[in-house]
């Protein structure tokens, strides 16, 4: 694999997702009238480190997908697997999020931005340890689940893309809510409330999602 190319394609893919989401939501009501908080050198450093972690995650996922059959004979299995991946990822992230709020020095950096406005930039702007923990959990949940039921490749791809889209939506200062059904909801107002009030109880990852997020 050409790791440099994968890195560049991953960054470009996230840029495109951000651009599309910003364009589609440009007429959505603004949640709070505010000027975006400037990001500093530490923010850029964390974003750079996290982009490498995300690339490693993408490479691992690509390795998994390339060793699986593209064809799935079942009509329902791809969709069932997609939602089950979200639920399993949520369970672990809820627990991780609670721990991060107990050891707040790890999670504090992400909450410095009280009003997220920049989509995936604000989503990925977190302590690299936090990012690594979330990605490692997400990856091994996919591996474990795949070993149990042989997840269709399309389900893994949809899961990764949906989390990237959700991370962008949840870090907009726009009133945007997308319901994918069966309890999977991306809600920017809900997530902004969490950033402002720093409320650990509002932790359903499908609605708060953020961090793992590719």
Burial bucket for residue 39 (CB in 10 Å: 0-12, 13-18, 19+)? middle
Reported as a pLDDT band with limits 50, 70 and 90, residue 96 is confident
Quote the pLDDT of residue 93: 83
Which of 5-9, 49-53, 148-152, 201-205 has the least mean pLDDT?
201-205
Quote the pLDDT of residue 214: 40
What is the pLDDT averaged over residues 21-33?
A: 89
pLDDT at 210 over 60: no
Q: What percent of the chain has pLDDT over 70?
A: 92
DSSP 37-69: PPP-HHHHHHHHHHHHHHHHHHHHHHHHHHTS-
**Which residues is 184 bridged to in the sheet?**
181
What is the pLDDT averaged over residues 53-73?
A: 88
72 CB-near residues (< 8 Å, 6+ apart):
78, 152, 153, 154
pLDDT at 1 over 50: yes
CB of 52 closer than 8 Å to CB of 128: no
pLDDT at 163 over 70: yes
Q: What percent of the chain has pLDDT over 90?
A: 50
Quote the pLDDT of residue 201: 41
Mean pLDDT (the chain) is 85
148 CB-near residues (< 8 Å, 6+ apart):
none
CB of 161 closer than 8 Å to CB of 168: no
CB of 208 closer than 8 Å to CB of 202: yes
Of residues 196 and 90, more confidence is placed in 90
């Amino acid at each position: 694999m050409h790791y440099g190319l994968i890195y560049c394609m991953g960054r470009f893919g996230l840029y495109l997702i951000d651009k599309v989401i910003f364009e589609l939501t440009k007429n959505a009501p603004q949640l709070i009238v505010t000027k975006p908080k400037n990001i500093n050198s530490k923010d850029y450093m964390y974003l750079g480190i996290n982009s490498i972690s995300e690339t490693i995650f993408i490479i691992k996922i690509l390795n998994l997908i390339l060793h699986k059959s593209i064809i799935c004979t079942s009509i329902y299995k791809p969709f069932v697997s997609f939602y089950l991946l979200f639920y399993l990822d949520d369970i672990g992230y809820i627990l991780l999020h609670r721990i991060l709020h107990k050891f707040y020095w790890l999670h504090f950096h992400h909450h410095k931005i009280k009003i997220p406005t920049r989509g995936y930039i604000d989503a990925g702007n977190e302590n690299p340890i936090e990012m690594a923990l979330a990605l490692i959990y997400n990856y091994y949940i996919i591996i474990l689940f795949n070993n149990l039921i042989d997840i269709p490749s399309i389900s893994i791809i949809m899961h990764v893309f949906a989390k990237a889209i959700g991370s962008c939506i949840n870090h907009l200062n726009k009133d945007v809510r997308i319901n994918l059904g069966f309890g999977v909801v991306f809600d920017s107002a809900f997530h902004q409330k969490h950033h402002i009030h720093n409320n650990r109880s509002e932790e359903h990852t499908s609605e708060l999602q953020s961090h793992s997020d590719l």
